[in-house]
Amino acid sequence: MQQVISTERIPIKMWLDDAEEGSIKQAKNLANLPFAFKHVCLMPDTHQGYGMPIGGVLATQGVIIPNAVGVDIGCGMCAVKTNVSVKTLSPEIIKKIMKGVRDRVPLGFNHHKEKQNESRMPQDFDIDKLFIVRNQYNSALKQIGTLGGGNHFIELQKDETGMLWIMIHSGSRNIGLKVAEHYNNVAKNLNASWYSAVDPKWDLAFLPFNTEAAKQYYQEMLYCVSFAFSNRQLMMERIQEVVGHEILGVEYEPMINIAHNYAAWEEHFGEKVIVHRKGATSAFTGEIGIIPGSQGTKSYIVEGLGNPESFMSCSHGAGRTMSRAKAVRELDLEEEKRKLDERGIIHSIRGKSDLEEAASAYKEISKVMELQQDLVKIRTELSPIAVIKG
């Protein structure tokens, strides 16, 4: 832990040494919420978000905040190790795999032309009781198994021993966005009608769990978390089919999966609270997680250390140093392509918009890992060999 801010209603504990002014201001808003519990945590990849900083962890008593979860509910990572040595793969085979993945997995705003099998959708929910999910269900049948845009990506990677891995970063697509927007608006309207003391300018409208709106949001949020997992799972299966077509005898270990935008009932410091992780992942003792770097940099498979001071959480990635607009405006496209080419990484960077997720727009992942040595330990270090961005 680097430092503590003790000027607000509850402390702000930070695992970072370069906090931007905007994220600190948002963290102070969180710390002054009347229902915020114990302290606010900022992970080493923290940067300013909407309402709550990305990389923030907030525990609340009896209240849930849609904006403290975010719009891409359930967004997260999955990774699979293979039995294939990267040394046996020619650049031509890797390029064939990447082309096959692009043919099988819609990227960016693209969806499937046909509805996917309903058996791929989350099964343990009564969608007739989920207002937004029910309205979005048919659209979601064409979105499951698609990557999305922004910082979502598919990578082929190698570990320290040279073995091939597949990694995906993706979320709940449009269904998560619709749930987030709807219930944030419900919360804002309810807070206004209650003359809530929480400043509306903070963008932290809340729903107490003694209201039907909170219970409804929580169930729809859980559906989106499950949908995001199913989305990654379907993509991974189709990528494996492509890899299997090009590499005979390939075998896969069980998939590692972890989400980084959600809220959950958990017990901390002897009380049951709602832990909001917005751009942060859980890191309970022995829990296996994934912390990716930026495009073209290293990623890590980690094991949680169960640090109670972080509400048993860690970072979800490298964390931005530039907004997407600033990255497009200030970074040089040819220079960023050259950096990837020099590392031997096969990529699909074509135009200026791809600079939104350039490595130069992010913090150095090794520094992020150094700052959270009391939160996780590294099990596997992964280096990219090919990148497809959303």
Task: Copy the structure tokens of residue 57.
Answer: 């962890």
Confirm if 50 and 22 have CB atoms less than 8 A apart.
Answer: no
SS3 assignment, position 77: strand
Helix, strand and coil percent figures for the chain, each rounded to 5: 35, 25, 35
Report the distance separating Cα 223 and Cα 215, nearest Å: 13
Strand-strand pairing, 3-5 and 12-14: antiparallel
Report the distance separating Cα 81 and Cα 98, nearest Å: 17
Q: Is 316 a catalytic residue?
A: yes
Task: Copy the structure tokens of residue 257.
Answer: 């999966």
Q: Please report, as a single letter, which amino acid is at residue 221.
A: M
Beta bridge partners of 303: 288, 377
Confirm if 361 and 355 have CB atoms less than 8 A apart.
Answer: yes
In Å, what is the CA distance from 102 to each residue of 2, 108, 275? 42, 11, 36
Beta bridge partners of 288: 303
Q: Which of 111, 152, 316, 347 is catalytic?
A: 316
**Sign of the dihedral through C-alpha 60, 63, 69, 75:** positive
Give the active site residues: 316
